[in-house]
C-alpha cells in the first residue's frame, strides 16, 4: 500500500470521527443544514478526498473508493437519524407549548330550528307520503258551502254546534257567506270537483274556531285531512291506514282504539284514540281519567258528499280522516298549554 493511500484512508477516518462528534452536539435544524453542507456538500472535505482518488493507482483507488462511500453512507444515515431526533423533539416541545384548557367553552354557533308544528306536520305528511298520499292545500277563508253545506251540514243543522265559527260575512244567507274554515274538510269537495278517482291526498292547514282560548283550546290550530277514493275502498283500509300511521308516529307498542263516532260528512264514522302517553292507560288528567286520548276523527265518505263532488257512490267509495296537529307534540313532549305554540317565546321554541 502506497503512502498516499494510507494518508487518504487516515483522512477518511478522521473526517468520519470529527463529523460524528459534531453531529452529536447539534440541536438546531439550521446547524444541521450547515453540518450537511460541511460534510456532505459538494465542497466538503469528503468530496474533495473522493475526487483526489484519481491520482492513485487503480487497485488502491478501488479500495479507498469503497471505504470513502462507506463513510459517506454512514454520515448520511447519521444525519437522517439526527434529523428525526430533532423533529421529534420539536413536535414534543410544540405540543407542550400548545396545551389547551379543554374546559373553556366552545364557540357558540347559531342554530336555526323549525317550529315544532312544522316538524310535526312534516312528520305526519311523510308517513302518509310513504303510503302513496300526495300533499295538497286549500284556502283558509272559505265559502259556507264548502265548509258546511257540501259536507252535509246545512243551516240550522245541530252539528253546526260542533263548529263555533268565525265569520267574514255575518249577514249573507246561504252558501255564499265567507268564513274562516273550521276544519280542513272543505278541501275534500274542492278536490272532488277537480279530480276523478283514484284520489289519495293529505291536506295540512290552518283552521279557526270562535273559541275562548285556554290551556287546551286555541282559536287557531292546524289540521291534517286525509282523503282516499277509489273502487273497493273499505273501512278495513281506513283502519289499516290509520293504525299504520299511529304505529309510525307513536310506536309499535302503543295501544290503539277504533270506535264508532259521528261526523256529518262520513258514514260509517269512526274515532281513533291511543293509549294515554302520560299514564299508559291508567287514567290521569291528560286523558280525562279514561286512559285514552282521541287523536282523530274518520269514516267512509258520505254518499251525499261523494255525489256533491260529482262522484257516483254506487261505483266508488272512499275514506276521510282529520286530525288536530297540536295534540301530537303536546302528548309527545308533555306540553300542557296549547297557547305556547303561537306565543312564539324563543325559550319554548328552542327546545325542539
> Going by DSSP bridges, is the β-strand pair 199-208/134-135 parallel, antiparallel, or unpaired?
parallel
Q: Helix axis angle, 3-25 relative to 58-98, nearest 10°?
A: 0
| Nearer Cβ to another protein (31/337) | 337
Q: Smaller CB distance to another protein: residue 87 or 169? A: 169
Q: Between 21 and 101, name the residue whose CB sits nearer to another protein.
A: 101
Q: Which SS3 state, helix, strand or coil, does residue 268 take?
A: strand
Ordered strands of the 266-275 beta sheet: 134-135, 199-208, 220-230, 317-324, 292-301, 266-275, 256-260
Query: Least separation, in Å, of the C-beta of 78 and another protein?
Result: 41
* Minimum distance from residue 299 beta carbon to another protein (Å): 8
Q: Which is nearer to another protein, 21 or 171 (CB)?
A: 171
CB nearer to another protein: pick between 82 and 327: 327
Phi and psi at 153, nearest 5°, equal -125, 75
Among candidates 249, 237, 274, which has minimal Cα distance to 259?
274
320-350 per-residue burial string, b: 16 or more CB within 10 A, e: under 16: bbbbbbbbbbbbeeebeebebbeeeeeeeee
Cβ atoms of 42 and 51 within 8 Å: the answer is: no
Nearer to another protein, 16 or 152 (CB): 152
Compute the least distance from the CB of residue 28 to another protein, in Å.
Answer: 34
H-state helical runs in the chain: 3-25, 29-40, 45-51, 58-98, 116-130, 144-147, 186-194, 235-250, 303-308, 327-333, 340-343, 346-349
Tell me how far, at minimum, the Cβ of 87 lies from another protein, in Å: 31
Q: At closest approach, how far in Å is the CB of 258 from another protein?
A: 5
* Cα–Cα distance list, 156 to 28, 78, 146, 193 (Å): 99, 104, 16, 25
Identify which of residues 52 and 213 has a Cβ nearer to another protein in the complex.
Answer: 213
Please, what is the minimum distance in Å from the beta carbon of residue 96 to another protein? 23
CB of 228 to another protein, least distance (A): 6
Amino acid at each position: 500500500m502506497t503512502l498516499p493511500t494510507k494518508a487518504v484512508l487516515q483522512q477518511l477516518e478522521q473526517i468520519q470521527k470529527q463529523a460524528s462528534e459534531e453531529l452529536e452536539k447539534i440541536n438546531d435544524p439550521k446547524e444541521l443544514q450547515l453540518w450537511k453542507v460541511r460534510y456532505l456538500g459538494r465542497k466538503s472535505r469528503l468530496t474533495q478526498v473522493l475526487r483526489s482518488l484519481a491520482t492513485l493507482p487503480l487497485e488502491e483507488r478501488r479500495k479507498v473508493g469503497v471505504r470513502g462511500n462507506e463513510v459517506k453512507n454512514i454520515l448520511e444515515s447519521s444525519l437522517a437519524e439526527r434529523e428525526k431526533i430533532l423533529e421529534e423533539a420539536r413536535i414534543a416541545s410544540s405540543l407542550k407549548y400548545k396545551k389547551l384548557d379543554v374546559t373553556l367553552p366552545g364557540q357558540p354557533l347559531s342554530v336555526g330550528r323549525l317550529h315544532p308544528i312544522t316538524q310535526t306536520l312534516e312528520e305526519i305528511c311523510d308517513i302518509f307520503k310513504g303510503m302513496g298520499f300526495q300533499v295538497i292545500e286549500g284556502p283558509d277563508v272559505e265559502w259556507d258551502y264548502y265548509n258546511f253545506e257540501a259536507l252535509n251540514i246545512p243551516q240550522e243543522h245541530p252539528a253546526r254546534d260542533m263548529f263555533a265559527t268565525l265569520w267574514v260575512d255575518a249577514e249573507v244567507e246561504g252558501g255564499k257567506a265567507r268564513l274562516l274554515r273550521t276544519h280542513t274538510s272543505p278541501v275534500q269537495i274542492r278536490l272532488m270537483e277537480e279530480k276523478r278517482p283514484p284520489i289519495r291526498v293529505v291536506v295540512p292547514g290552518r283552521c279557526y274556531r270562535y273559541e275562548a282560548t285556554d290551556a287546551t283550546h286555541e282559536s287557531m290550530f292546524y289540521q291534517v285531512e286525509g282523503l282516499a277514493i277509489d273502487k273497493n275502498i273499505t273501512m278495513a283500509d281506513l283502519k289499516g291506514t290509520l293504525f299504520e300511521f299511529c304505529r309510525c308516529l307513536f310506536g309499535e307498542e302503543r295501544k290503539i282504539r277504533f270506535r264508532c263516532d259521528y261526523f256529518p260528512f262520513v258514514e260509517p264514522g269512526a274515532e281513533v284514540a291511543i293509549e294515554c302517553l302520560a299514564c299508559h292507560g291508567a287514567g290521569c288528567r291528560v286523558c280525562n281519567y279514561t286512559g285514552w286520548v282521541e287523536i282523530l276523527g274518520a269514516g267512509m265518505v258520505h254518499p251525499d258528499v261523494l255525489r256533491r263532488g260529482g262522484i257516483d257512490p254506487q261505483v266508488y267509495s272512499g275514506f276521510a280522516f282529520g286530525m288536530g296537529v297540536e295534540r301530537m307534540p303536546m302528548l309527545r313532549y308533555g306540553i300542557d298549554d296549547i297557547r305556547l305554540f303561537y306565543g312564539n317565546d324563543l325559550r319554548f321554541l328552542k327546545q325542539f
